[in-house]
Amino acid sequence: MSEDSNRNSGFNAAANNHVRHVTLEDIAQFTPEKVNHIYRGGIRQGASRTDTHSQQMVDKIPASQRSGVDGQSAAARTKEYLSNKDASHVNPHSKGGSAHPDNMKWENRSTNRARSDKPMTPKEQRTIDAKANLDNLSGAVQRGMEAGLKGAVIGAVTALPFSFLRNALRVSRGEMTSQEAAMETGKETLMGGAVGGVTAFTVTAVASAFPPIAIALTAVSPALLVAGGAGMVYEFFKILEDHKLQVRDCYNSLTEKQLSYLQQVEDEMIYEHKKNLRFLDEQKVVSEEIINYPQGNGIQGALDRLQHAMMNAQRVGLSLSDSKLLSSFD
């Protein structure tokens, strides 16, 4: 899998994962039954908290436990987290402690009510804070796992068409078989899914646990989406350009091989032609000698001509056995 595909899968997976932390407006709209829990939790009498103080109470909930992909899911998770929680006083109301957010912590209902009107000890405060940090971490992992599946699908869908195109062109160039291309495409698609899944998990988990990062992610998501789209366009044309260069190099290589082969054929034909010319020259000489050989009289003349003919036959590679008439003289 190319670096371009990895980057595009990561960009698209990150751009398509959204993290929103609940607001008072979300709670009022989607879980209105929890409004009093925020505005009046821990207040024994008198008016409810202001919107500012109520938002501070919301912010005391572990960030990942009040996050979602939109306001509705964020409000639903906030309601679930607060279902067994009380707004507990660090300094009890009976001893002059106020209901200001600085004096409040979200605590399990049973623990808070068992303490009654006693002040919260430093150890108990550290325990609550540690539990809140643990809840934030576990919630972040859960949000990341939920986003990871979607990111894996986005990453795979991003990688598949480009992997298919790249490997199909490799098949057309003769670099691999169709079966090898299918296996390579499957492997690269899975890799794209893995990149997308890991990216979505990491980005979502971190953004869920740290609201400022979620705000930054929301701000840069359009840029990431544009970068992913532009990267896909770039990768498409890069694959085609690489294919063009590969084909040109392959053509040049084949042309050089063909020229070399043709040169060898031509050299061999020239050699055979020269060889045939030498043979014809020798045949011409022999023929002239036979024609111009003196014609002697009588038996002696005939024998001389026979002997001369046999010598010329041997010069051109013949023997007496090649002639039915002369074979008896062997």
* pTM for the structure as a whole: 0.69
Mean pLDDT, the chain, rounded, equals: 84
261 against 36, higher pLDDT: 36
Mean pLDDT of 15-43: 92
One domain, residues 15 and 126? yes
One domain, residues 222 and 283? no
Whether 158 contacts 1, CB under 8 Å: no
Helix (H, G, I), strand (E, B) or coil at 78: helix
One domain, residues 147 and 233? yes
**pLDDT tens for each residue of 123-173:** 999 999 999 999 999 999 999 999 999 999 998 998 898 888 888 888 888
Of the candidates 314, 8, 311, 330, the residue with the CA atom closest to the CA atom of residue 159: 8
Kindly report each contact of residues 237-240 with a partner whose C-beta sits within 8 Å and lies 24 or more positions away, as own/partner.
Answer: 238/4, 239/162, 239/165, 239/166, 239/169
**Cα→Cα distances 198→9, 14, 192, 202, Å:** 10, 10, 10, 6
One domain, residues 111 and 202? yes
Mean pLDDT of 27-33: 95
Range of the domain at 212: 3-248
The stretches of 31-121 forming alpha helices (DSSP H) are 35-40, 51-59, 71-82, 109-115
One domain, residues 265 and 163? no
State the Cα–Cα distance between residues 144 and 150, nearest whole angstrom. Answer: 10
Residue 118, amino acid = K
Domain-terminating residue out of 199, 224, 248: 248
The domain tally of the chain equals: 2
Domain-terminating residue out of 248, 275, 295: 248
One domain, residues 153 and 283? no
- pLDDT band at residue 238 under the 50/70/90 scheme: confident
Cα angle 321-317-330, degrees, rounded to a multiple of 5: 30
pLDDT at 273 exceeding the cut of 90 = no
- pLDDT band at residue 189 under the 50/70/90 scheme: very high
Domain-terminating residue out of 248, 266, 289: 248
**Cα→Cα distances 65→23, 108, 281, Å:** 13, 15, 105
Whether 280 contacts 274, CB under 8 Å: no
